[in-house]
Amino acid sequence: MSVYSYPAPCSPDLKEPKSVDDCLSQARRLIRRIGPAENVRTSVAPELVVRPGDRDVIVTLPDQDQFVAEAARQALMENGAERVDFLYPVDLVGKNPGVASVEDGWKELELLKEGKASGTMEDLVTGMGLVEATARYLDNHPEYTGVFIDVAGANAGRGLGKHGEKFRGFWPFNTWEWFLSRGHTFPLAVWEEFERRIVEPLGKAAKVRITDPEGTFLEFALSAEEAKRWELAAMVHGHLLMNPLQATAGDVRELRKESLDAPPVFPRVTGCLAGTANHCGFFPRIEAYFENDRLVEVRGGGKYGDGIRALMDETRDLQWPGYPGKGLFWFCDTALCTAVGVHRRRADLFRSYWVYPNLPERTRAGVFHHGFGSRTYATEKEWGIHAKKHRMPQGHIHVHNYFATFEVALRGSNYWHKIIDKGRIAALDEPEVRALAARHGDPDSLLRYDWNPPLPGINCDGNYWEDYAPDPVAYLKKRLKAGQSI
């Protein structure tokens, strides 16, 4: 048997619940009680936030696991909620969402063209406008004081408009498999400590290099001031902003109510982004080449690549306001999620009510989702007006990297500090983080990744170029059939 230098495939062995009781202890672990003045934390880490006396509504999907729903309802009521009801898309917009499969990774570009890019939508789960519809529902149902909805970002709270203060948290728990993941109950003190250790070195970075065994090789350099601005903006708990443009773009600063006087930092990312997955699913291996942030060439990628090449051609002479050159696609996203114990969702990979069925895999600590397209230079309003006038799709599309190494050359030295090493967040293995973890349990098990995807020739037997790169889904299906982890 061959030995590989990347961690072997694995996934957690979760047992399908047979009763509400099988879900109750996890529901109780997810509870966070808050007082009247506290704000709900907005992040990719879902919790069951409860304020005494709350009358909650949980917006979910047609395949909601009923044991999970009842356990969540019971746990919320044990902790002070007066009432917990569930709402389905059909109650809000008169119909159910269609189903999506990770076989159709190419659809991420179609969603961008339809105005449903992941970073721009208020309703990231279905793209049907459920958040806005829920706001209208709350207009007519003032009895509800708390809402659980959507899966990520600040979108949901913002989209609820004047009902924003009723936002209690996300609801990604339509499947039992995701609900039972231990990644959601990781101790917050340890989580915040290792995230701090990821972000702090960014302010000292003179150069940055990102490499991945699927073929990514990206580099950029920063001035001392740019690096400091990046560090100060990169912390979004659960979803760190590891690209300077992403961290300093107008929309992020607008959301944080920060000044828009200084222009965003364009880090001049140069090199190749390569991979086989995005938020929608999988596609034949793609290579996207960037020069000074601008996408200049796309090779491979099957239907996804064909679509990007066509849109590049169509928009070659267009320009975003404030951007340093022409073209629709700019490197604008290197997000690092940090949920240690989560995994790729298997139960609904091929039949999902999520419009982005492959979104959950990016949540695991160490998985990068890189993106290209655009972010706002200044205000969202200006961006929107420009996009409409020139018919330019707003937002960006993605490529995931599982085993990336992300390193920074510290200013004034020749030392390259590895923040992520072959997909492993280096801070998780630092003695201080392990000591802190030991207060909450066995550090080895607490800080372990429960899931590693299989990449033949990289972390398991096989040939990456023959067995995986041309058709990742066929490979994953073959493993599933053989009872192997994906």
Binding site for Fe ion (CB under 5 A): 119, 333, 371
- Minimum CB–partner distance for residue 253 and Fe ion (Å): 17
For the bound state, the minimum distance from the C-beta of residue 96 to Fe ion, rounded and expressed in Å, comes to 26
Inter-CA distances, 289 with 218, 269, 433, Å: 9, 10, 37
Residue nearer to Fe ion on the CB measure, 365 or 458: 365
Q: From CA 101, how far away is CA 116, in angstroms rounded? A: 17
Contact between 23 and 53 under an 8 Å Cβ cutoff? The reply is no
Which CB sits closer to Fe ion, 74 or 374?
374
User: What's the min distance (Å) between Cβ of 370 and Fe ion?
Assistant: 8
For residues 428 and 42, give the distance between their C-alpha atoms in angstroms, rounded to a whole number.
23
Least distance to Fe ion, CB of residue 361, Å? 14
Identify which of residues 119 and 453 has a Cβ nearer to Fe ion in the complex. Answer: 119
C-alpha to C-alpha distance for 336 and 347, rounded to whole angstroms? 24
* Closest distance of CB 371 from Fe ion, Å: 4
Distance set, CA 91 to CA 162, 173, 351 (Å): 21, 18, 21
Comparing CB distances to Fe ion, the nearer of 119 and 284 is 119
**CB–CB of 454/486 below 8 Å?**
yes
Shortest Cβ distance from residue 251 to Fe ion (Å)? 11
The answer to whether 244 and 222 have CB atoms below 8 angstroms apart is yes
**Which residues are registered as beta bridge partners of 433?**
none
Q: Which of 18, 9, 16 is nearest to 347 (CA)?
A: 16
Q: Which residues neighbour 45 within 8 Å (Cβ) at sequence distance 6 or greater?
A: 184, 186, 191, 237, 238, 339
Tokens coding 96: 């159910």
How far is CA 384 from its chain centroid?
Answer: 23
> Of 239 and 424, which CB lies nearer to Fe ion in the complex structure?
239
Q: How far apart are the two ends of the chain, measured CA to CA in Å?
A: 20
114: β partners:
none
List strand residue ranges (DSSP E) for 60-155, in order: 83-87, 146-148
Alpha-carbon gap, residue 171 to 73, rounded angstroms: 12
Distances (CA, A) of 267 to 181, 219, 230, 320, 401: 36, 9, 10, 16, 20
Q: Based on CB atoms, which residue is closest to Fe ion, 119 or 271?
A: 119
Q: Which helix (H) or strand (E) holds 477?
A: helix 472-481
Considering the complex, what minimum distance in angstroms separates the CB of residue 432 from Fe ion? 31
What does the longest C-alpha to C-alpha distance in the chain come to? 64
Q: CB-based contacts of 223: which residues, under 8 Å, 6+ apart? A: none
Closer residue to Fe ion, CB minimum distance, 119 or 244:
119
β-pairing, 416-421 with 167-169? unpaired
Distance CA 81, CA 198 (A): 37
- Of the two residues 119 and 357, which places its CB atom closer to Fe ion in the complex? 119
CB of 254 to Fe ion, least distance (A): 17
| CB closer to Fe ion, 119 vs 423 | 119
Closer Cβ to Fe ion, 120 or 485, answer by number: 120
Q: Whole-number minimum distance, CB 395 to Fe ion, in Å?
A: 8
Q: Shortest gap between Cβ of 335 and Fe ion (angstroms)?
A: 6
Residue with Cβ nearer Fe ion (131 or 397): 397
Question: Could you give the CA distance from residue 267 to residue 259 in angstroms, rounded to a whole number?
Answer: 20
Smallest distance, Fe ion to C-beta of residue 375, A: 9
**Least distance (Å) between residue 234 CB and Fe ion:** 14
Which residue number, 293 or 333, has a Cβ lying nearer to Fe ion?
333
